[in-house]
Each structure stands twice: as structure tokens, then as C-alpha cells.
Structure 1
């Protein structure tokens, strides 16, 4: 173990670095307060139904946290293709894995707040204490960017263990996975000293709560399933005229739910915002 820690640059003189404790100690909280993962299932923001905590070294938190999220907190649809049975989750597991890795690798461990995952009927939110590199904005996360880990020693070990690629592609992989599954792209925000990654899936109940009319709800759910929609498709879906369909699409555009894809004109396609 001593040789391994030295090879991973997790020792300094005769002393272990904090990253060594976080990564390999069975109870890192003895030395680093808040070094654990908390998951909660919410009906509304102020209605917590149940929760779990995942303790132990970061390598265990990654595996146990994702397993707990997929087996207890997210309900999978069962589909069959011939004789094969497939479980389809509300959000792509690959994207959730990247979000969990990012939260644990980039958390500010001088804070006593644990990494937190809040699960709702229509969304899932990862939060960790931390901040963007100097002179960066959220926009940097949506396209290719250099790897600037908040905890370099932790990131180096996760790279050596095969968990991350160390190329700053995690946020882009989350975006691409959501696009591939016809979902809104993740929302990245940094405020009050913390980083939030929010995954969203439109549901009839949530859209109705936002005040959307039945026709608009039909359009949004159709785009989420099919990936795109055109004016003529909206006419068929809602039984309205071309001008009314145009008004519906423009309204959803203004609300930040849909956007035009590619060229405009006859046959213009609309997709979910950010897709």
C-alpha cells in the first residue's frame, strides 16, 4: 500500500495527503468532516419522503451511490425486444455516473457539507460545495474545455483507476447522453458556493403545474418522445390550423422549452431547448 500511495503522489514526506484519506480510508469522516454522500427522495422541495447516506472511501461511494440511485430511487420501465428484457431508466445511467464522479471529484472538502442528490418525480439534482476555475463561466462546461480538477490528487487517482478520462469531457458526455435519449440537456449552475447539475424529464403533471395548456403539453411530450416536431405535426397532434400551430411553437420557444433546429422555412423542426 505504501508503494501504491507513493506512486499516486498521495504522500508528502512521512505524511498522507488528505486525498489519500478520502480515497482509501474506511472512515474518511474521522478526518474530513462531510466526506460522504447523501441521497433524498422528495415529493416537493419541502416534502422529503426518505433518504440514505453512503459512507466510506470515495471509491466505494462512487459504486454504492450509483447502485443505490438506480435500484432504489429511480424506477425503470421494462421493455422487451424479442426475447430480451431491457430496463430503461428515466435518465441515462452513463450521465448520472458522470455527474456523481464530478460531484465527488470536484467537491470542496474544506466544507462540512456532503455531496447531495435530490430525486423528484421529474428531475434529479446533484449538488456539491465547490466553485468554477477562475475566469470560467457555466458556458465553458457545455463545449470542449481543458481539465481543471478542483482536487488534482483525487482526480489523478480516479483517472489511474479508469473512472475518468482527465480530459474535461464529463460535462459534454452528460449533455450528449441526454440528447441521445431525447431529454433536455443538463442544467449547470454555480451559486452560493455550490455546483448544481440538474437532469429534467418533462411530465404532464409538472408541465401542468407550470401553467401550460393541454395543447402545449401534448407538443412537449411528443417532442420528448420523438426528438423533433414540425408545424404540420403539431396541426395533426392538436387539430389546429397552421397559424395556430405556429403560435403554439413560438410560445414554447419563448418559454425556453423548444427551439428551432437547423434551417428555417417549410418543414422547420423544433427540438427541446439545448438539444
Structure 2
């Protein structure tokens, strides 16, 4: 699969720079900040590193990047004869949070007293991301909090 994006990279950025920890310099900071505040961006400057880490965890080949001054293309190779995690095997039309929702519900089933902060640490996502998903699950009446913050627990209703 190839994913390509038109962009303008700073003149001092190279493929090597992107593969290491680096400061993020978004082309449109207003749009980037909107996604960050909405919880869709967890940490600035770690997207490519997280993609590589995920490939490593799955045993998939590392992605290949082509970078020019005007675009970036990532090439991802499919896994053959590997079982996939059911929580991640969803269509793009379902939404990005479905895999996380399923993981969170699984964690709640095993430990109803767990905190949102503990879930965020367990899933390696921001606490804000977990809060956003909890808000959606509560609004959909999928989960409910019984008791207070300190001694309460989560109940899965659906």
C-alpha cells in the first residue's frame, strides 16, 4: 500500500532526520493544533517512529519512505499468513477509534476499577485520547460509571 501526501518540508529535513526523534514543524500549525486538541495527535514528531514501532511489533517489514521537497510517500508491505488482531481488522469507514474502543472495553472487563490514566499508560496513548473515547462510550450508553472517582467502577452495558 502506498500513502502519499503533498507537503513542503523544511529545507534541512532528510529521511534520516524523520526516522529519529525530532521537533515537529507542521506546515499548517492551526490545522495541526486543532487535531492535537481533539486528541487525534498524541505526541508531536513521533508519527513515523510509531509507524515503524508498530511494524516491528507485528513482525512486518519496515516501511519505505520517499521524501522530496514537495511530497512524502510511504510504502507498506502486507503481512502474509499472519493472524491479525480482530480489534484492528476494521474498515476505514468505521473510524479510527474502533480498535481503541474495543481494547478499552476489554481492559474494563478484566478490571472494572481501572482508571482512565492507567488505561492510557497501558495502551501507550494520551489520557486525553482515552477521555475522548470514554465520553463517546458514555454518550452511547455502552459504559457507565458506578460510584465515585476513588472507589467506583465501570460497568459495560452493551
Which range, TM-score by smaller chain? 0.3 to 0.5
TM-score between both structures, scaled by the size of structure 2 = 0.47
Q: More relative contact order in 1 or in 2 (CA 8 Å, sep 6+)? A: 2
TM-score by length of 1: 0.28
Q: Which has the higher strand share?
A: 1
From the CA coordinates, give the structure whose radius of gyration is larger: 1
